[in-house]
Amino acid sequence: MSTVIALETSDVRFPTSSQLDGSDAMNLDPDYSAAYVRVVTDADDGVEGHGFVFTIGRGNDVQVAAIRALEHHVVGKNAEELLADMGATWRSFVWDSQLRWLGPEKGVMHMAIGAVVNALWDLKAKRAGMPLWQLLARMSPEEIVALIDFRYLTDALTPEDALQILRDAEPGRAEREAQLLAGGYPAYTTTPGWLGYSDEKLVRLAKEAVADGFSMIKLKVGGDLEDDIRRMRLAREAVGPDILIGTDANQRWGVDEAIAWMKQLEPFGVAWIEEPTSPDDILAHAAIARGVAPIPVATGEHVQNRIVFKQMLQAGSMSVLQIDATRVAGVNENIAILLLAAKFGVPVCPHAGGVGLCEAVQHLSMFDFIAVSGTTEGRRIEFVDHLHEHFVTPTDVREGAYWPPATPGAGTEMLAASRSEFEYTETQAAERLHV
Amino acid sequence: MSTVIALETSDVRFPTSSQLDGSDAMNLDPDYSAAYVRVVTDADDGVEGHGFVFTIGRGNDVQVAAIRALEHHVVGKNAEELLADMGATWRSFVWDSQLRWLGPEKGVMHMAIGAVVNALWDLKAKRAGMPLWQLLARMSPEEIVALIDFRYLTDALTPEDALQILRDAEPGRAEREAQLLAGGYPAYTTTPGWLGYSDEKLVRLAKEAVADGFSMIKLKVGGDLEDDIRRMRLAREAVGPDILIGTDANQRWGVDEAIAWMKQLEPFGVAWIEEPTSPDDILAHAAIARGVAPIPVATGEHVQNRIVFKQMLQAGSMSVLQIDATRVAGVNENIAILLLAAKFGVPVCPHAGGVGLCEAVQHLSMFDFIAVSGTTEGRRIEFVDHLHEHFVTPTDVREGAYWPPATPGAGTEMLAASRSEFEYTETQAAERLHV
């Protein structure tokens, strides 16, 4: 028996804005950051659970404060009990009646819950001696269904529906696990396409992406139409006709603008248009999807919870669903979203990049392949080649694929040296203001 | 010329949970709280702008941290410039590209923006020597339209639409201001209906409400169906056939449950069903609205922003729209929502109660009557008789009406003595844990 004795937080910020890595039409100067949490127990194995919320700089301290507000749900509790019933543990966070007022189930407080939930999954997987994808993919359909809160979902997905999806996938699990280990999981790359890069850098990186084995790249759009047309032409010339090119507007447009803009880019061959408008706008996404067809609409990295995803699927707002490892309330909620996607037959192509998002989200796609959707058809995990060196188990991306991690845990543990070097202190804050 | 020299915050919590005031099916033991902010300038008039976010206890500190994260947008700035173009000021907060990641436009960070925006409006109104309702109601249609960010709204409301609504209402402004001063603005009361109250207390308070001149009361429902049926019967017997009785489920249900439950309460005469399900669920609200008709669906106190309100109006999810003074990004965004409601012909009945919500939101309804919708037909502001004594300008509610405040400002200033007495410190936190 062990007890959780601390929820240790830290404010980690990488000064990425100096390179314009990660620049797009809405996020001009991100400093990729993590509101980081460690779940520490008194067990003598020294094993800790690590999790984080990804942010882009300012406000990372607010996110840290929100994680601290969850302390009473974890510290002093029996660790085995918390980990044994992760469905109940999840509900204890999300249904805290006072904290719930701060959302409900959205924004800072919901993401904080996600960090703690993910840290507990990291602890659970480490204790089980398995990478998270494998731990999840070996749970029974009943155990998986018990992780999910079906309130507000049953008009689209009932527990019985979920159980059926999982049972249908059960016979092929072992075969698909072997396939995954032998062939990896498909990836695509956003590295070439940031708005802040020059045309020369775009072309060079696009060619490198193809040489590296990627079958899809993605370009940020939505800043200036003439620029976008030129960049799309350059990218298409660089990669040739057979490589997919996705586009990402990062919420820039209203309905009419989105449709008109994409008509101009369509001739270059567009794999999808991502985040054409507000992530809250289910009906506008549906109108855009009708207006830009046959270009698929992709969205999800800023979709606040399973309830909005459910409606987007009901309304036909998206034909590609993009989960994010740290936007919703962690692994449990993302499993609910994977099951919703499976029910509606929509492929899941996770958002990643940032700090540690690749490391974390790959586990969910691999679990999905083995135990939920049973396919990688039309599915790719985003890959951005930034900041992986700071993680204990950095992604292994080669030949256009993510190769499944073998290390126990959820992939969310950052190196202690990196956490320490990039910890954001009052002194650093003052220094950055005066640079 | 004056400069903003400080954004002072405080964590104010009233221990209301000891009385079960404010208890409902989701909020079992709220401690009504305010994450409070003062905008201080170096002007020698000593006038400050005050604002707050209402919370129900835990997490109030997170909300305070979020307000502090906005300091760089205000402190050191020219106060006259900030106040002269409140549209630009609003956008500087909401479009902060790094902070935006924490929402966007929802939850803790968005509510923090609301507190600061409202504090600036308080300062602006005090400097103008007018109560906020009057300041707003005397702005030109063009000035009002300039307060609003139309991004994500134009598929339902264009600047031209907004201008037309405001211009149509302009000729009657003076007459309606006189009407308001002579007759007040209609109110309804939730005081009798909290779930934690005994049947005897419910009946006594319901009769008192009628005696006090209210034409509508509201009951919390959704805990237990048999209890709700008994309480509805008791309430109807107590108030007679002519008084409206609203019901409020505080997000308890899914679609089918909401419809089935309300069929059981319908025979007692239901003025509306409020928050039947998740505030994020536009499509479920629409399905419930169809299923419970002719009972109207009311919602909004937890609706995160104007984009979700827009969709609820487009989808027919609500026939009563309930704005809240501190849920969205302040006065500017609530004006956008009032204009959307006017465009769709849906009456606005604000959510209030809590700490200072009555004091704040009445200004918006009074402005709406004079300059936007031009009517109080089907409209009432919620009234709960709690904690008004802590405000510099407490509401004046008599004869079932809110009487327009004459004091300059937005109504959001809490007495210094109350802020000091109920400031939540580490010591108090420890004491409450050990009671």
pLDDT averaged over every residue in chain A = 96
**Identity of the residue in A28, A102, A251 whose CB atom sits nearest the CB atom of B63:** A102
- Burial of B19-55, coded b for 16+ CB within 10 Å and e otherwise, reads eebbbbbbbbebbbbbbbbbbbbebeeebbbbbbbbb
Q: How far apart are CA A219 and CA A237, in angstroms?
A: 14
Do A62 and B311 make contact, defined as CB atoms within 8 angstroms?
Answer: no
**In the prediction, which pLDDT does A425 show?**
85
**In the prediction, which pLDDT does A434 show?**
52
With a pLDDT cut of 90, the percent of chain A lying above it is 92
Residue tagged 């210094």 (tokens): B416
Which of B220, B285, B386, B390 is the catalytic position?
B220
| Known catalytic residue at B124 | no
Confirm if A354 and A33 have CB atoms less than 8 A apart: no
Beta bridge partners, B186, equal B401
**pLDDT for residue A125 is more than 50:** yes
Specify the DSSP element, H or E, that contains B52: strand B49-55
Radius of gyration of chain B (CA): 21
**In the prediction, which pLDDT does B95 show?**
96
Which CA distances in Å does A191 have to A24, A236, A379, A384, A386?
12, 15, 18, 5, 9
Residue type for position B390 = H
Beta bridge partners, A185, equal A402
Beta bridge partners, A391, equal A414
Spell out the residues 6+ positions from residue B54 whose beta carbon is closer than 8 angstroms to its own. B32, B33, B34, B325, B326, B354, B355, B356, B357
* Distance to chain A for B62, nearest Cα, Å: 5
ipTM of the shown complex? 0.96
Q: How far apart are CA B159 and CA B429, in angstroms?
A: 48
Instruction: Encode pLDDT of A160-215 as tens digits.
Output: 999 999 999 999 999 999 999 999 999 999 988 888 889 999 999 999 999 999 99
* Distance to chain A for B110, nearest Cα, Å: 9
Nearest to A59 by CA among A21, A101, A27: A27
| Known catalytic residue at B77 | no
B76 vs B23, which has greater pLDDT? Answer: B76
Taking CA atoms, what residue in A is nearest to B27? A97
Confirm if B408 and B131 have CB atoms less than 8 A apart: yes
**Residue B317 in contact with partner chain A when CB distance is under 8 A:** no
**Residue B100 in contact with partner chain A when CB distance is under 8 A:** yes
**In the prediction, which pLDDT does A17 show?**
82
Q: How far apart are CA A218 and CA A349, in angstroms?
A: 12
**Identity of the residue in A56, A62, A155 whose CB atom sits nearest the CB atom of B284:** A155
Do B61 and A55 make contact, defined as CB atoms within 8 angstroms?
Answer: no
Nearest to B99 by CA among A105, A55, A303: A55
**In the prediction, which pLDDT does A20 show?**
61
Do B97 and A29 make contact, defined as CB atoms within 8 angstroms?
Answer: yes
Which of A220, A310, A343, A363 is the catalytic position?
A220
B-chain residues near A260 (CB < 8 A): none
Taking CA atoms, what residue in B is nearest to A315? B283
* pLDDT interval class at A104 (50, 70, 90): very high
User: What average pLDDT does the segment A83-106 reach?
Assistant: 97
With a pLDDT cut of 90, the percent of chain B lying above it is 92
Q: How far apart are CA B144 and CA B162, in angstroms?
A: 9
Do B155 and A255 make contact, defined as CB atoms within 8 angstroms?
Answer: yes
User: Coil, strand, or helix at residue B179?
Assistant: helix
The encoded tokens of residue B44 equal 């020698």
User: What average pLDDT does the segment B226-250 reach?
Assistant: 97
User: What average pLDDT does the segment B374-401 reach?
Assistant: 97
Positive or negative: CA dihedral B347, B348, B349, B351: positive
Spell out the residues 6+ positions from residue B354 whose beta carbon is closer than 8 angstroms to its own. B22, B32, B54, B56, B384, B386, B387
> Residues of B numbered 126-165 whose beta carbons fall under 8 angstroms of chain A's beta carbons: which are they?
151-155
User: What average pLDDT does the segment A30-56 reach?
Assistant: 97
The full 3-state SS of chain A, as one line of letters, equals: CCEEEEEEEEEEECCHHHHCCCCCCCCCCCCCEEEEEEEEECCCCCCCEEEEEEECCCCHHHHHHHHHCCHHHCCCCEHHHHHHCHHHHHHHHHCCCCHHHHCCCCHHHHHHHHHHHHHHHHHHHHHHCCEHHHHHHCCCHHHHHCCCCCCCCCCCCCHHHHHHHHHHHHHHHHHHHHHHHHHCEEEEEEEEECCCCCHHHHHHHHHHHHHCCCCEEEEECCCCHHHHHHHHHHHHHHHCCCCEEEEECCCCCCHHHHHHHHHHHHHHCCCCEECCCCCCCHHHHHHHHHHHCCCCEEECCCCCCHHHHHHHHHHCCCCEECCCCCCCCHHHHHHHHHHHHHHHCCCECCCCCCCCHHHHHHHHHHHHHHHHCCCCCCCCEEECCCCHHHECCCCCEECCEECCCCCCECCCCECHHHHHHCECCHHHHHHHHHC
pTM for the whole structure: 0.97
Residue tagged 């609200």 (tokens): B285
* pLDDT interval class at B32 (50, 70, 90): very high
Dmax over Cα atoms in chain B, in whole Å? 63
**In the prediction, which pLDDT does A433 show?**
55
Spell out the residues 6+ positions from residue B345 whose beta carbon is closer than 8 angstroms to its own. none
Beta bridge partners, B185, equal B402
Taking CA atoms, what residue in A is nearest to B155? A255
**Residue B429 in contact with partner chain A when CB distance is under 8 A:** no
Half-sphere exposure at residue A346, Cβ-oriented, CA atoms within 13 angstroms: 28
**Cis peptide leading into B294, omega within 30 of 0?**
yes
**In the prediction, which pLDDT does A435 show?**
43
* Distance to chain B for A341, nearest Cα, Å: 17
Taking CA atoms, what residue in A is nearest to B305? A280
Confirm if A321 and A300 have CB atoms less than 8 A apart: yes
* Distance to chain A for B406, nearest Cα, Å: 32
Q: How far apart are CA A41 and CA A82, in angstroms?
A: 12
Domains and CATH numbers, chain B: 4-129 (3.30.390.10), 164-417 (3.20.20.120)
> Residues of A numbered 42-71 whose beta carbons fall under 8 angstroms of chain B's beta carbons: which are they?
55-59, 61-63, 65-66, 69
| Stated length of chain B | 435
Burial degree of B226 (CB within 10 A; 0-12, 13-18, 19+): exposed
Dmax over Cα atoms in chain A, in whole Å? 63
**In the prediction, which pLDDT does A22 show?**
65
Taking CA atoms, what residue in A is nearest to B327? A102
Nearest to A383 by CA among A405, A368, A367, A361: A361
A-chain residues near B108 (CB < 8 A): 62, 66, 102, 107-109
**pLDDT for residue A66 is more than 80:** yes
Nearest to B133 by CA among B340, B332, B408: B408
User: What average pLDDT does the segment B255-261 reach?
Assistant: 97
Burial degree of A353 (CB within 10 A; 0-12, 13-18, 19+): buried
Residue tagged 């073998």 (tokens): A406
Which CA distances in Å does B325 have to A22, A178, B62?
36, 56, 19
- Burial of A253-283, coded b for 16+ CB within 10 Å and e otherwise, reads bbbebbbebbeebeebbbbbbbbbbbbbbbb
A137 vs B195, which has greater pLDDT? Answer: A137
A-B interface: how many C-beta pairs under 8 angstroms?
A: 188
**Identity of the residue in B66, B153, B254 whose CB atom sits nearest the CB atom of A62:** B66
The angle, 0 to 180 degrees and rounded to 10, between the axes of the packed helices A357-367 and A330-344 is 50
User: Coil, strand, or helix at residue B131?
Assistant: strand
* Angle, CA B72 vertex, CA B66 and CA B78 arms, to 5°: 130
A236-240, A292-296, B18-22, B275-279, range with the lowest pLDDT? B18-22
Burial degree of A178 (CB within 10 A; 0-12, 13-18, 19+): exposed
**Residue A426 in contact with partner chain B when CB distance is under 8 A:** no
* Pairing between β-strand B273-274 and β-strand A320-321 as defined by DSSP bridges: unpaired
**In the prediction, which pLDDT does B435 show?**
43
Confirm if A77 and A3 have CB atoms less than 8 A apart: yes
Q: How far apart are CA A326 and CA A322, in angstroms?
A: 12
pLDDT averaged over every residue in chain B = 96
Q: How far apart are CA A352 and CA A322, in angstroms?
A: 9
> Which phi-psi region, left, alpha or beta, contains residue B380 (left: φ > 0; alpha: ψ -120 to 50)?
beta
* A interface test, pick of B56, B101, B278 with most A CB neighbours within 10 Å: B101
Instruction: Encode pLDDT of A258-286 as tens digits.
Output: 999 999 999 999 999 999 999 999 999 99
**pLDDT for residue A25 is more than 90:** no
Confirm if A395 and A388 have CB atoms less than 8 A apart: yes
DSSP B328: S
**pLDDT for residue B27 is more than 90:** no
B-chain residues near A304 (CB < 8 A): 106-107, 280
Q: How far apart are CA A241 and CA A69, in angstroms?
A: 51
Nearest to A148 by CA among A126, A117, A124: A117
Spell out the residues 6+ positions from residue B178 whose beta carbon is closer than 8 angstroms to its own. none
